[in-house]
Amino acid sequence: MIEIDGSHGEGGGQILRTAVSLSAVTMEPVRVVNIRAGRPTPGLKNQHVAGIEVTGRLVNANINGLQVGSTTIEFLPGERRGGRISYDIGTAGAISLVLQAVLLPAILAPSPSYIEIHGGTDVLWSPPVDYIKHIFDFMLQKMGPKIEINLHRRGHYPRGGGRVSCSVEPVDKVHSIDFVEFGELNRVRGISHCVKLPAHVAHRQADAAESYLRDKGLEDIDIERKYWPKEEDPHLGAGSGIVIWAESDRNLRMGGDSLGKKGKPAEKVGREAARQLSDELSTGHAVDSHLCDMLVPYMAVAEGESSIGVTEVTSHLETNIWVVEKMLDIETKLEGKHGQPGKLTLKGTGISPSN
């Protein structure tokens, strides 16, 4: 059984998600110890339990230590399978982080999967579901996977109540990628939303983002405003946020996002997302600082050599590289200093459901 030290590097839930996800792909048991050891409240939280349990259902796994607060788990895969899975995190735990754990084994399953998760769609310390749908999924599909993500209801902290469904058509192989340079900017698109709040919040977020980007010389900008009349709003609690993305002539995307909170002006929310996107674009590299670590497990199981130019070498990227090296015994080459733009190259294992 492979043992992974959950306190290594960034030391958060990402190590756990990647280790369990790759275990479900390789069918090799894994033990993860010291889970989130450096966090104020170490061990598993509800969203980590959800990610492990849903992933386990895809491979009929036996799982030891699966409870909130546990700092050690053992994940023993049984057999690959697809099917319908529904799971309620029970809190505003991040749906996007659950999807990060389950999507890789789902795309290499022997049959299609339909996964429905209830929880938080727009919460701190995790990618918004709009980012997962419009940036992560868009870029991932260039590696072959066929994924459809649908956002049915938003869920903000603390009440949650969001609902997201995901349909996955499995593939026999994940293709390698060569995303080093972003190319020429074609356009900027985005979604600014608010729930249980006046419509002007969504408008002000979007207006501020557009104004910032136009001041930087960007022209083709279209940010959708989403809001609900008070009497028709189905959400449980108030919240707002914005996700914007740039599209290049090479048909690549990178993004920026920001969440609203009580006392934070909507204009600041919009400017934060726009500044983030502008900073990412200024490097000329193809893969933004949030997406780069998410792509690493897919590159690691792809057939052939993959290369990505990253806008920033982050601790999450460095940690995920370490995990795939431990789990798959592969070699990687990361060029660039921490906090600076860089380039990652690795040769994948070419895993397929028939292996």
Catalytic residue numbers? 316
292, exposed or middle or buried, with CB in 10 Å at 0-12, 13-18, 19+?
Answer: buried
Q: In 3D, which of 49, 104, 53, 58 has the Cα closest to residue 81?
A: 58
> How far, in Å, are 49, 102, 286 from residue 250 at the CA level?
38, 29, 10
CB 18 within 8 A of CB 320: yes
CB 260 within 8 A of CB 226: no
DSSP-derived 3-state class of residue 209: helix
CB atoms within 10 A of CB 154: 29
State the DSSP H helix or E strand holding residue 103, giving kind and residue range, or none if neither. helix 95-107
Rounded to whole angstroms, the Cα distance separating 179 from 250 reads 9
136, exposed or middle or buried, with CB in 10 Å at 0-12, 13-18, 19+?
Answer: buried
